[in-house]
């Protein structure tokens, strides 16, 4: 499952700047807003030139690289994402003044590693990021890291570790009032996943439905993570043998993703694989088999073209 890498850059982006930096800074702000709106291709076109700009401070360039890496990741450009994160970490490593930026880069890099089927590096980087967030009392960073660790544990079928991590994320929600809809959606998504693993299908559906509601409230209907959340809700209904509801939500998710990201992206192709499973349950075996074969080929081609050693992990709906 894909997670939104929530970056705490706003204060840095809107800070006062010298006149000679204004054009680069304006482009920085525009690209940042485009990324927040799910316009990842536009954000990439904005960030790529300014990460080479001498008009930005070194710290601003590091933040821009982290944001660029996230946009690359969301469009399936995994090798470029890795390179951007590595450059960002190189900038912030050992910089005591910008430790939260270093933690943010670690967090995003961990999300990439998880997505491409590399759980061990993901665990190491999230553990490092968590230590920094806790030292700095960064509640949002603490919450999302525990939620991501819970999701990682679920993928590895470590249910006890997942429960422990999500309990800590839930406890964190009671410590502050600074959490966004995306923060809470991340927690709800993993809670629903754990409920399903425990055999509580009503809890799984409720968690997934709350995630959809939070995504729509925070971003509206036509946003990539809203579409993804609809797919997860469809998966929960499918697991509970409510095929009609599953199909409705999967179709909604695919429609949103097609309009916001396009059809040749990991999330959309994962949705097609899920749709093929629903069709198979309805007895439409030939159509399901055809769709599954096409989606798997497209997914494998995409992974092969974008990175070496990638595996179908977060997009597999296991």
Is the pLDDT at 318 greater than 50, yes or no? Answer: no
Domain residues for the domain of 273 are 199-318
CA distance 129 to 140: 12
Using alpha carbons, select from 317, 161, 123, 298 the residue that is nearest to residue 229: 317
Note whether 8 and 87 are same-domain residues.
Answer: yes
What is the CB-side half-sphere exposure of residue 130 using CA atoms within 13 A? 20
267 within 8 A of 115, measured Cβ to Cβ: no
In a domain, 95, yes or no: yes
In a domain, 42, yes or no: yes
Inside any domain, residue 309: yes
Q: Is the pLDDT of residue 304 over 80?
A: no
Is 44 among the domain residues? yes
Q: Identify whether 295 is part of a domain.
A: yes
Residue range 166-201, pLDDT digits in tens = 999 999 999 888 899 999 999 999 999 999 999 999
Please give the Cα distance from 216 to 206 (Å, whole number): 15
In this structure, are 77 and 204 located in the same domain? no
In the chain, the percentage of residues whose pLDDT exceeds 90 is 77
Say what the pTM is: 0.88
Name every residue whose Cβ is closer than 8 Å to that of residue 226 and which is 6 or more positions away in sequence. 212, 215, 216, 219, 220, 256
**pLDDT digits 0-9 by tens, 83-107:** 999 999 999 999 999 999 999 999 9
Out of 101, 134, 167, pick the residue that ends a domain.
Answer: 134
Residue 292 is part of a domain; what is its CATH number? 1.25.40.10
Do 129 and 244 share a domain, yes or no?
no
Q: How many domains does the chain have?
A: 2
CA distance 249 to 252: 5
Give yes or no: residues 10 and 127 share one domain.
yes
**Is residue 175 assigned to a domain?**
no
Looking at residue 300, its pLDDT comes to 85
Q: How far is CA 33 from CA 2, 135, 183, 233, in A?
A: 20, 29, 18, 28
């Amino acid at each position: 499952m894909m997670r939104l890498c929530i970056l705490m850059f706003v204060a840095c982006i809107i800070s006062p700047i010298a006149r000679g930096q204004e054009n680069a800074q304006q482009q920085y702000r525009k690209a940042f807003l485009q990324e927040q709106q799910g316009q990842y291709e536009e954000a990439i076109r904005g960030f790529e030139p300014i990460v080479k700009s001498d008009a930005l401070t070194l710290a601003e360039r590091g933040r821009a690289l982290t944001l660029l890496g996230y946009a690359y990741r969301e469009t399936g450009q995994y090798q470029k994402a890795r390179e951007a994160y590595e450059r960002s970490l190189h900038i912030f490593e050992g910089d005591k003044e910008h430790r939260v930026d270093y933690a943010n880069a670690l967090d995003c890099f961990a999300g990439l590693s998880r997505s491409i089927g590399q759980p061990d590096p993901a665990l190491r980087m999230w553990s490092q990021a968590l230590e920094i967030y806790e030292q700095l009392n960064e509640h949002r960073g603490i919450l999302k890291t525990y939620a991501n660790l819970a999701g990682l544990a679920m993928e590895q079928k470590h249910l006890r570790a997942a429960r422990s991590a999500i309990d800590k994320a839930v406890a964190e929600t009671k410590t502050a009032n600074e959490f966004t809809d995306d923060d809470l959606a991340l927690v709800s998504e993993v809670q629903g996943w754990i409920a399903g693993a425990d055999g509580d299908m009503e809890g799984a559906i409720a968690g997934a439905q709350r995630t959809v509601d939070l995504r729509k409230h925070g971003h509206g209907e036509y946003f990539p993570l809203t579409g993804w959340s609809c797919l997860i809700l469809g998966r929960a209904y499918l697991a509970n043998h409510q095929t009609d509801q599953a199909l409705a939500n999967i179709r909604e998710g695919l429609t949103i993703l097609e309009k916001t990201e396009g059809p040749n992206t990991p999330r959309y192709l994962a949705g097609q694989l899920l749709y093929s499973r629903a069709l198979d349950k309805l007895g439409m075996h030939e159509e399901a088999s055809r769709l599954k074969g096409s989606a798997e080929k497209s997914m494998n081609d995409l992974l092969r073209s974008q990175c070496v050693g990638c595996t179908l992990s977060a997009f597999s709906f296991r």
